[in-house]
Amino acid sequence: MMRRAAGFTLIEVLVAMTVMAVMAMMAWQGVDGIVRARDANQARLERTLRLNSVIGQWEQDLGLIQDSGVVPAIICDGSTVRLTRRAEGGLQVVAWALRPDTTGSSWWRWASPVVTTVGDLQDSWLRTQQFQGGEPGQLRTLEGLSAWQVYSYRAEWANCQSTGDVTVPRASSAPPGQDVPRGIRIVLTFAPGSGQNGSLTRDYLVKP
């Protein structure tokens, strides 16, 4: 006798398709979670590397501060830190500034051409006092900040009149060429939604 060919009923097929659809959805959610976690970790790593690179440049500038006797070695105001540093072949004026933008505020750096004469050094220094934002040569180094404070150490830590509501007294000013502090402290406060939390404090010992 010929056996009747066995097969699946419509209900069995529908149940199997439903199970497969559920398993496929679960698998997709798992893969999507892995991809999102990978992207978040990659973005966090890039922000950390960027921050370390910028802090490294800041500390390199501090490590090369030069007492020129012509313009201040380092001076701060409400938004900008200006300093004179050694560079290959001469001296250079560098300005670090915090400027507001869509991310909260960004940290900008400008470096003058390397100069070898008193007149050119004075011109570079005066140029930094006329910055309004967006001048050629300025580089946005770090985004997502809300405030910063800069402190100098001589006999004690004193605020360099930087941004933020702080009550530490300002350091007394000194004549150009005689105002190299023994240490510099920077406090960067990150804006909400920047991907960084709280604030970062770094101290740097300025070599005589």
Does residue 37 form part of some domain?
no
Q: Which helix (H) or strand (E) holds 62?
A: helix 10-63
Does residue 6 form part of some domain?
no
* C-beta neighbour count of 86 within 10 angstroms: 14
Tally the residues of the chain.
Answer: 208
* Count of structural domains within the chain: 1
Question: pLDDT tens for residues 46-56?
Answer: 888 989 999 99
Does residue 111 form part of some domain?
yes
Alpha-carbon distance of 151 to 69, in angstroms, equals 22
Does residue 26 form part of some domain?
no
Give yes or no for a contact between 122 and 95, defined as CB atoms under 8 angstroms apart: no
Question: pLDDT tens for residues 156-184?
Answer: 888 876 544 333 333 344 444 446 888 89
| Containing structural domain, residue 178 | 45-205
Maximal CA-CA distance, the chain: 115
Instruction: Give every CB contact of residue 113 below 8 A, 6+ residues apart in sequence.
Output: 92, 124
Question: pLDDT tens for residues 7-54?
Answer: 678 787 788 888 888 888 888 777 777 877 877 778 788 888 989 999
Question: pLDDT tens for residues 109-150?
Answer: 999 999 999 999 999 998 888 776 666 778 888 998 988 888
pTM, rounded to two decimals? 0.74
Does residue 187 form part of some domain?
yes
Alpha-carbon distance of 113 to 117, in angstroms, equals 12
Does residue 14 form part of some domain?
no
